[in-house]
């Protein structure tokens, strides 16, 4: 579904992404891990067109989308949620999702039709239910709790029914219990929609439990990839990343 070939990007001479080649099969659930500054978010930014890569190809179902603008990429089926929930504070949850559902309409359809459209309303309800925000549907987005805002951010990405869903640290800034709830919600919606899901995560317990495959990034390159067992035993990973991380995580 999503194939990355030798992707490169540098900022002012520093290589943030240094030749990444990865393959994400259709319907797979993968985690991207790596120490801070490994280039994980840059990797997501490149895939979603926040800025163009210097070199390399990004193939979505065979089409090279590298260099397209963010809206063009989103319309081709890559949805994204952000590390810091990126939402619409003055809209209610339902209005925000409705807006997202309708975002792809052509401008003349946008002008001519009246809100909310019946078919869009059904899809909106479905998306809100996928992230368990039914009870908060009429609340202003800005008044949601941190965790709910993260869920809404995911719901916005889901509103476009993406083929590939990128989640940048869905559990960031949450307590332990809330993290597991969050990842369970993500897991459930992946099982129901079967899109290709890629998430960045720092919590290794979550990663090892949920991800089918794990890609380890370090200094903008792929250090290792494989399933939980393989990554756990990978000498380079232990050396460069896991040891130090577990030490800090425990303390």
Partner 1 sequence: MKQASVGRDIALAVGAFALLAILPLVFPNKSLADFVVRLSAFAVFATSLNLLVGYAGMVSFGHGLFYGLGAYSFALMLQKLGLSVPLAFLLTMVFSALVALVIGAICIRLKEIYFSFLTLAFQMLLHSIIIAWTAVTGGDQGLTGGLPRPPFLGIRLDDPRHLYLFCCAIMIISLFVMWHLVRSPFGYTLRMIRDNPRRTAFLGVQVWRVRLLAFVVAGVFGAIGGALMSLFVSSAYPDFAYWTVSGEAVFMILLGGMSVFLGPTAGAAILLLLNDTVTKLTEHYSLVLGIVILLFALGLRKGLLGFLVEAWSKRGAQTSAPATASRH
Q: Which is nearer to partner 1, 106 or 250 (CB)?
A: 106
Return d(Cα 148, Cα 63) in angstroms, integer. Answer: 35
The count of residues interacting with partner 1 (CB under 8 A) is 45
| DSSP secondary structure string for all residues of 153-181 | HHHHHHTT--SEEEEE-TTTT--HHHHHH
Return d(Cα 58, Cα 112) in angstroms, integer. Answer: 36
Q: Which is nearer to partner 1, 34 or 77 (CB)?
A: 77
DSSP designation for 76: T
As given in the structure block, the two tokens for residue 240 are 């460069």
Q: Which is nearer to partner 1, 89 or 243 (CB)?
A: 89
Q: How far is the CB of 191 from partner 1 (least distance, A)?
A: 24
As given in the structure block, the two tokens for residue 144 are 């949601």
Q: How far is the CB of 141 from partner 1 (least distance, A)?
A: 8
Whether the Cβ atoms of residue 205 and residue 218 lie closer than 8 Å to each other: no
Q: Which is nearer to partner 1, 69 or 188 (CB)?
A: 69
Contact positions with partner 1 (CB under 8 A) in 123-142: 138-142
| Site for partner 1 contains 104 (CB under 8 A) | yes
Give the range of 34-42, 55-63, 107-115, 223-231 binding partner 1 by CB under 8 A.
Answer: 107-115
Going edge to edge, which strands form the sheet with 213-218?
78-81, 164-168, 196-200, 29-33, 213-218, 221-226
Return d(Cα 215, Cα 91) in angstroms, integer. Answer: 36
Q: Which is nearer to partner 1, 15 or 70 (CB)?
A: 70
Q: How far is the CB of 196 from partner 1 (least distance, A)?
A: 17
Return d(Cα 119, Cα 221) in angstroms, integer. Answer: 44
Given candidates 1, 8, 59, 88, which one binds partner 1 under the rule CB under 8 A? Answer: 88
Given candidates 1, 15, 59, 105, which one binds partner 1 under the rule CB under 8 A? Answer: 105
| Site for partner 1 contains 163 (CB under 8 A) | no
Q: Which of 47, 44, 48, 55 is nearest to 15 (CA)?
A: 55
Contact positions with partner 1 (CB under 8 A) in 48-77: 48, 69-71, 74-75
| Site for partner 1 contains 83 (CB under 8 A) | no
DSSP designation for 117: P
Return d(Cα 152, Cα 139) in angstroms, integer. Answer: 11
As given in the structure block, the two tokens for residue 15 are 């290589």
Q: Which is nearer to partner 1, 69 or 212 (CB)?
A: 69
- List of residues contacting partner 1 (CB under 8 A): 48, 69-71, 74-75, 80, 82, 86-92, 94-96, 98-100, 102-105, 107, 109-117, 138-143, 156-157, 159-160
């Amino acid at each position: 579904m999503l194939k990355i070939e030798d992707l490169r990007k540098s900022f002012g001479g520093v290589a943030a992404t240094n030749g990444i080649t990865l393959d994400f099969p259709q319907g797979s659930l993968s985690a991207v891990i790596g120490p801070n500054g490994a280039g994980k978010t840059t990797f997501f930014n490149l895939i979603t067109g926040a800025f163009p890569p210097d070199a390399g190809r990004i193939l979505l179902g065979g089409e090279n989308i590298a260099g397209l603008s963010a809206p063009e990429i989103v319309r081709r089926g890559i949805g994204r949620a952000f590390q810091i929930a990126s939402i619409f504070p003055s809209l209610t949850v339902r209005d925000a999702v409705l807006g997202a559902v309708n975002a792809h309409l052509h401008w003349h359809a946008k002008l001519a039709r009246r809100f909310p459209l019946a078919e869009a309303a059904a899809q909106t309800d479905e998306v809100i239910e996928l992230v368990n925000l039914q009870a908060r549907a009429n609340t202003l987005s800005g008044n949601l709790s941190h965790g709910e805002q993260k869920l809404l951010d995911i719901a916005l990405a889901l509103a476009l029914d993406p083929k590939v869903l990128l989640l940048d640290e869905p559990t960031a800034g949450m307590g332990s219990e809330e993290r597991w709830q969050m990842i369970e919600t993500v897991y459930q919606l992946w099982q129901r929609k079967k899109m290709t899901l890629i998430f960045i995560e720092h919590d290794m317990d979550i990663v090892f439990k949920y991800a089918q495959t794990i890609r380890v990034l370090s200094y903008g390159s792929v250090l290792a990839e494989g399933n939980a067992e393989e990554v756990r035993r990978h000498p380079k990973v232990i050396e460069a990343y896991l040891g130090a991380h577990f030490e800090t995580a425990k303390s």
